[in-house]
Structure 1
Amino acid sequence: MSELPQDYRYTETHQWARKETDGSVRIGITDFAQAELGDLVYVELPAVGKVLEAGKPCAVVESVKAASDVYTPVAGTVVGVNETLTIEPELINRDAWSAWLFSIAPSDSTEFEKLLDANTYYNIYYKE
């Protein structure tokens, strides 16, 4: 397991969220999620402009073992997607922390703070 970035927030469904300087929130899947899925072969991203509800499926990552929904941790409007992942989904396996899926302009800035911090996420999923 790679070290958890302390400035990210996490969900129980293994997504990470990182607040950007412009107020948007970048979303990706955790290293735990990519390790469980195995070699990723396909990524389906939400459309820019799409309005998303927190906790609802909005993207798909598919590996040689399984397909998995990605749930948005915060509600808002998609303002960017990482198109490179549609061509090179394996980038998520190489570095899940930098291979963001999409960016969202949150409709409620307090939702981000309610997500799990790194220590809480670690204690739930990694601590033995």
Structure 2
Amino acid sequence: MNIPNDLLYTSEHEWLRVNGEQAYLGITDFAQHHLGDIVFVELPEMDTEISIGESIAVVESVKAVSSVYSPLTGTVVENNEELEDSPELLNQDPYANHIAIISISNRDELNDLMSPEAYAAFCAEQE
């Protein structure tokens, strides 16, 4: 399982790449592997203010429909529109293909996310 060292992780199997005051949000390798072939991604609305824990996107696979939850409070400033036509990009490389970019409202919330080491241990428990 691929767990990049430069990201933060959630217990819902999302990742965040923080870049200044913005965070790229996506699903992890663990998530895409367990979902199977992804066939549809419902992206969040642009300029939507979101709260921590709120469902902001939906990923559908041949096996299941799963919500993507925001790991922080902020505003959606960009969507990865490539996923509308090519949702399978999340299976090919979930870390190169984010779902959305969020403008961070409260940086302190980042402290509640898992390090790569903690996430690896969490995933081991899930198997």
Return the TM-score normalized by structure 1. 0.94
In structure 2, the gaps of 5 or more residues are none
For residue 89 of structure 2, the aligned residue among 91, 98, 103 is 91
Superposition deviation, residue 7 in structure 1: 1.3
How many pairs were matched up?
126
User: 1:52 maps to what in 2?
Assistant: 50
User: 2:8 maps to what in 1?
Assistant: 9
Percent identical: 43
In structure 1, the gaps of 5 or more residues are none
For residue 43 of structure 1, the aligned residue among 41, 44, 47 is 41
Return the TM-score normalized by structure 2. 0.95
Distance 1:78 1:14 in 2: 19
Distance 2:83 2:124 in 1: 27
User: 2:21 maps to what in 1?
Assistant: 23
Q: RMSD of aligned C-alpha atoms?
A: 1.2
- Describe how 1:82-121 pairs up with structure 2 within 5 A: 82-121=80-119
The Cα offsets for residues 70-118 of structure 1, whole Å up to 9 and x where unpaired, read as 0011110000000000110000000011110000001101112320010
The Cα offsets for residues 28-59 of structure 1, whole Å up to 9 and x where unpaired, read as 00000000000000000111100011111110
Distance 1:30 1:126 in 2: 14
